[in-house]
Amino acid sequence: MACPRCGGTDPVRAVRLRGSAVLALWAGGLALAWLLGGRVLHDLVEGLDRSRLPLGLLVPPVVVLGAAVVATALRLRRPVCPACRSGVLVDAGPADIPGATRRTLLRASGAAVAAGAGGVAAAVGRNAGWLPSGQTSSARRLALRSGPDSSTSSRTSWS
C-alpha cells in the first residue's frame, strides 16, 4: 500500500494514542473525581438527605477515567509510513508480536485498577478534613464504652 502523502510504502504496524493525550485523559479524570466525586462524598458524609444525592455528578469522572483505561490499553493495526508519521497515533511496533493479547489484557486490567483506586483516592483526598473529626468521635465513643464508669459499676450519686 502506498502512502497518500509521500508515496512511500505503508507496512501494517501497531499504533497507539500519543502519550500526552493519554496523560491528559488521566489528569482530567482524576481532576473530575476530585471535584465532582469529592462533592458527592461530602454530601454523603454530611448525611442530611441521602435520597437527594447528586449521583449524576459521578458520571463524568467514570466516563473520562474509562476512556483513559481504553486509551492506555488500545493498540490498533494501521498502515504506517515510516517517512511521515504524524497525528495523534504513534507507532507502537510490529503488528504481529507473540503474546500481544496477553500484554494488552494485563495493561487494561492494571489501568482499570489504577483508575478505580485513583478516583476513590481523589474523592477521599478532597474530604481529608473529615478524617480527624471522625477519628475523634470514634475515640470518644470507645472511651465512653470502656471507661471506669461503664454500666457494670454503679455511681454513688445514683443510689
Task: Determine the pLDDT at residue 98.
Answer: 72
Mean pLDDT over the full length of the chain: 77
6 domain residue, yes or no: no
> Is residue 37 within 8 Å of 64, Cβ to Cβ?
no
Q: Which residues are paired to 16 by β-bridges?
A: 90
Tens digits of residue pLDDT in 30-60? 999 999 988 888 888 777 677 788 888 999 9
148 domain residue, yes or no: no
Task: Determine the pLDDT at residue 118.
Answer: 92
58 domain residue, yes or no: yes
Task: Determine the pLDDT at residue 64.
Answer: 94
Q: 94 — phi, psi (to 5°)?
A: -60, 150
Distance CA 47, CA 42 (A): 9
Task: Determine the pLDDT at residue 33.
Answer: 92
Q: Which residues are paired to 79 by β-bridges?
A: 12
146 domain residue, yes or no: no
1 domain residue, yes or no: no
State the chain's maximal CA–CA distance in angstroms: 102
> Is residue 111 within 8 Å of 30, Cβ to Cβ?
no
Residue by residue, DSSP assigns 56-108 as: GGGHHHHHHHHHHHHHHH--EEEE--SS---SSEEEEEES--TTHHHHHHHHH
Query: Length of the chain in residues, anyone?
Result: 159
Q: What is the pTM of this model?
A: 0.68
CA neighbor of 60 nearest in space, from 45, 39, 87:
39
114 domain residue, yes or no: yes
Task: Determine the pLDDT at residue 100.
Answer: 73
**How many structural domains are present in the chain?**
1
Task: Determine the pLDDT at residue 59.
Answer: 93
124 domain residue, yes or no: yes
User: Which residues in the chain come in under a pLDDT of 50?
Assistant: none
Task: Determine the pLDDT at residue 95.
Answer: 64
> Is residue 44 within 8 Å of 50, Cβ to Cβ?
yes
Range of the domain at 49: 12-128
- Tell me how crowded residue 33 is: count the other CB atoms within 10 A of its CB: 28
74 domain residue, yes or no: yes
- Tell me how crowded residue 41 is: count the other CB atoms within 10 A of its CB: 20
